[in-house]
Amino acid sequence: MLGRINKVVTIVAKLMFWIPSIVTWIDIGISIGGWVSVTQAEHSLAPTPWSRASIALLAFIYLYLVGIFILFWLHKAEYFAEERWALAGVAFCVPLLAIRVAYSLIFVITGNIAFNAMKGNPTLYLIMTMLPEFFIIAACTYIIATRISPLVKTRKKVQQTTEEEESRQRLSIGS
């Protein structure tokens, strides 16, 4: 949703949205390497250097997202109503995502098996993983489906408004 806002009102360079994607691909590589090494380990459920590196990258991506979100929040007065809805959606999702990331961080830092996704406490998993993800998906789906129109229509509105203003200026100059 921040990408959509940035297409309507440029706040950051497009490159800023590539960084999390690149870091995510690196994390996928680390996760695959970790999985291969864990299949040969005695304690396959214990945190490993691979899992620590992976969650460190995910925490970096989360903190990066928070930083970008703050930049967009500081410019919220410049947005149209639809982009404000998109920003509100991100504002709703950021704390939920923090809970989701905290679940993984707790396991990797402490090694507490209750926070293990495979053999841990199902209630903790439900509350800290499944419910936040459900609410994030529900909120984003609601906002995208009911509060913001496709970007093409938004651009047409901006273009139409600009054309109307130019037309009024020509009329006032000609009078």
Dump pLDDT digits (tens) for 151-175.
875 455 555 566 666 666 666 665 5
Average pLDDT, the chain: 89
User: What's the domain count of the chain?
Assistant: 1
Count CB-CB contacts under 10 A for residue 22.
9
> What is the predicted pLDDT for the residue at 171?
67
User: By the 8 A CB rule, do 65 and 21 touch?
Assistant: no
Report the C-alpha gap between 57 and 30 in whole angstroms. 10
Q: Which domain holds residue 66?
A: 2-174
Work out the end-to-end distance of the chain between its first and last CA atoms, rounded to an integer number of angstroms.
44
pTM of structure: 0.80
Report the C-alpha gap between 6 and 12 in whole angstroms. 7
Give Cα separations from 162 to 94, 154, 155, 158, 159 (angstroms). Answer: 34, 12, 10, 6, 5
pLDDT tens-digit map of 79-128 = 999 999 999 999 999 999 999 999 999 999 999 999 998 899 999 999 99
User: By the 8 A CB rule, do 38 and 44 touch?
Assistant: yes
pLDDT tens-digit map of 34-55 = 888 877 766 777 888 999 999 9
Residue 66: which residues within 8 A CB-CB, separation 6 or more? 94
> What is the predicted pLDDT for the residue at 126?
96
